[in-house]
Amino acid sequence: MDADVVAQAAWIPLQGAVRWMTLGQFAVSAFVFVLLFFIAAPYGRHFRKGWGLVMPTWSAWMLMEFPSLAVMLGFGILNMKTIGPVSIVLSLLWIAHYFYRSLVYPFLTGLRTRTFPVLLLFFAMIFNLNNAFINVNMLVTRPLPDVWFYDFRFIAGIVMFFAGFVLHAHSDLVLRRLRREGGRGYSIPREGFFRFVSSPNYLGEILEWTGFALASWSLAGLAFAVFTIANLAPRAFANHRWYKKTFAEYPAERKALIPGIL
Ligand SMILES: NC(=O)c1ccc[n+]([C@@H]2O[C@H](COP(=O)([O-])OP(=O)(O)OC[C@H]3O[C@@H](n4cnc5c(N)ncnc54)[C@H](OP(=O)(O)O)[C@@H]3O)[C@@H](O)[C@H]2O)c1
pLDDT digits 0-9 by tens, 144-162: 999 999 999 999 999 999 9
Whether 66 has a pLDDT exceeding 60, the answer reads: yes
Nearest alpha-carbon partner for 238 in 6, 33, 2, 15: 33
Q: What is the mean pLDDT of residues 188-207?
A: 98
Which residue has a Cα nearest atom 14 of ligand 1?
44
* pLDDT at 110 > cutoff 70: no
For the whole model, what pTM was predicted?
Answer: 0.96
pLDDT band for 2, please (50, 70, 90 cuts).
Answer: low
Which atom of ligand 1 is closest in space to residue 168's alpha carbon? 45
State the average pLDDT over residues 152-176: 97
Atom of ligand 1 nearest to the CA of 45: 41
* Helix (H/G/I), strand (E/B), else coil: 259: coil
226, pLDDT greater than 80: yes
Ligand 1, residue 189: give the atom nearest the CA: 31
Ramachandran class of 183: left when φ > 0, alpha when ψ lies in -120 to 50, beta otherwise: left
Q: How far apart are CA 21 and CA 26, in angstroms?
A: 9
- 24-52 residues labelled b (16+ CB within 10 A) or e (exposed): ebeebbeebbeebeeebbbbeeebeeeee
pLDDT at 1 over 60: no
How far, in Å, CA of 118 to CA of 98, rounded?
20
Question: CB of 7 within 8 A of CB of 82?
Answer: yes
Asked if pLDDT for residue 6 goes beyond 80, the answer is no
For 86-140, the DSSP string reads: HHHHHHHHHHHHHHIIIIIHHHHSS-SS-EEEHHHHHHHHHHHHHHHHHHHHHHH
Identify the pLDDT of residue 183: 82
pLDDT category at 13 given cuts 50, 70, 90 is confident
Close Cβ partners of 38 (under 8 Å, ≥ 6 residues apart): none
Q: For 198-212, write each residue's pLDDT tens digit.
A: 999 999 999 999 999
- Residue 250: burial class (beta carbons within 10 Å; 0-12, 13-18, 19+): middle
Top-confidence residue, 21 or 112: 21
Name the residue of 232, 235, 246 whose CB sits within 8 Å of the most ligand 1 atoms, as the mutation to test its pocket: 232
pLDDT at residue number 77: 85
Distance CA 28, CA 35 (A): 10
For residue 81, the model assigns a pLDDT of: 83
If you measure from the C-alpha of residue 7 to the centroid of ligand 1, how many angstroms do you get, rounded to a whole number? Answer: 40
- Strand 54-56 with 115-117, pairing: antiparallel
If residue 191 lies in a helix (H) or strand (E), which one and from where to where? none
Ligand 1 site residues, Cβ closer than 6 angstroms: 44-45, 57, 109-111, 114, 168, 172, 175, 178-179, 186-187, 189, 201-202, 205, 228, 231-232
Q: Which pLDDT score, from 0 to 100, does residue 4 have? A: 66
CA distance 71 to 65: 11
Residue 46 has pLDDT above 70, yes or no: yes
For residue 169, the model assigns a pLDDT of 97
Please report which confidence band the pLDDT of residue 59 belongs to, taking 50, 70 and 90 as the band edges.
very high
Q: What is the pLDDT of residue 112?
A: 73
